[in-house]
Structure formats: structure tokens, C-alpha cells
Amino acid sequence: MFKYALQIIIGILTFMVATFIAWYEGSALINNSIEWKYSTPFTKLFNIEITAGQDISQLDYFVYAVKFQPLFPTLMIVSILYILGVTGYYLIKSKSKWAIGFWGFIGFIMILFSSLTFNASTTGGSIFFWITSISGLLFIAGAVLLSLRKFKHKGSGPNLIS
């Protein structure tokens, strides 16, 4: 249990540092008024009219960072996926029935997330599309393999013929 907790703590610390740096890098959006129209989906979602840089939602900083400075937002996603992977692996080792559903759900969410960046026009958006779609497929494949393994073990018991 300690080795899983330590890995999750390291993943959380990595996520926090990457989040802070990505937020800082994305704050450059305040000074780039040309991008206000294209990189502020959360501000538009809250129906806020941008008249100055301070009107921009802080969540839009991450969108801008993904588009133009993708290293730390990518590190954020990878650290979250690592935390979820360790959690799923712990569920498998503890023989929990939740592991299959957990990995399948995470895979489904990642595939949905990748659809948001499907037609990305920037390099960062393309990187995010590939990371989320491949990781989603890997999580779904893991869930399918776990369910097949469980089905195989279930069907190979001594009461199969009786």
C-alpha cells in the first residue's frame, strides 16, 4: 500500500507544479489581444465581454498554454493519467470488481476529451489530441483485457461441466 501512496503523492506534486507553471505561461493571453477571440472558451461560456485582459477567465490561461506552450499542460495530463493508472492498478491488485469499470470510464472520458481537440490548428492542440486519444484507447483496452481475463478465470472453474 505504501508504494502506491508514494507514487500517488509524487503524481499529485508533479501535477501541482505543472499546473502552476502552465497557469503562469497561459497568463500571457492577457497581453495578446489577437488571441482573445480564439482562446477564451470559458470566458465566452460565462458570457463575459472582454474589454481588458483582466476580464479573461483564469481557466482560459490553460487553453492558451495548451495551444502555444504545451509542455506543462501535457505534463499535467500525463501526471493525472499516471495517478489514475496507479489507482486502477491498485484496484486490480486488491481484486476489486471496480477496476474494469474504473479503467473503462477513464478511457471513455479521455476519448470524449480528445474529441474537443480533434481539429486543432496548433501544435499543442494536436499533441493534446494524440495524448488523450491514445491514453483513452489504452485504458479501454486495459478494461477489455481485464474483463476477458476475469471471464476466462470464471469459466475455467470445476463447476463448468456439472
What pLDDT score does 100 carry? 86
- Smallest CA-to-CA distance from 32 within 46, 53, 49 is with 53
Residue 138 vs residues 8, 45, 85: alpha-carbon distances, Å: 20, 31, 10
pLDDT in tens, the chain (162 residues): 888 999 999 999 999 999 999 999 999 999 999 999 888 999 999 998 888 889 999 999 999 999 999 999 999 999 999 999 898 888 888 877 788 888 899 999 999 999 988 888 888 889 999 999 999 999 999 889 988 887 777 655 554 444
Q: What is the CB neighbour count within 10 angstroms for residue 61?
A: 22
Packing angle of the helix pair 2-26, 71-93 (nearest 10 deg): 160
Q: Please tell me the pTM assigned to this model.
A: 0.82
Question: Which residue has 492498478 as its cell numbers?
Answer: 89
Q: What DSSP line would sit under the chain, residue for residue?
A: -HHHHHHHHHHHHHHHHHHHHHHHHHGGGGG-GGGGGTS-HHHHHTT---SSGGGS-THHHHHHHHHH--HHHHHHHHHHHHHHHHHHHHHHHTT-THHHHHHHHHHHHHHHHHHHTTT--SHHHHHHHHHHHHHHHHHHHHHHHHHHHHHHHHHTSTTS--
Task: Check if the beta carbon of residue 60 is closer than 8 Å to that of residue 36.
Answer: no
Please give the Cα distance from 62 to 14 (Å, whole number): 16
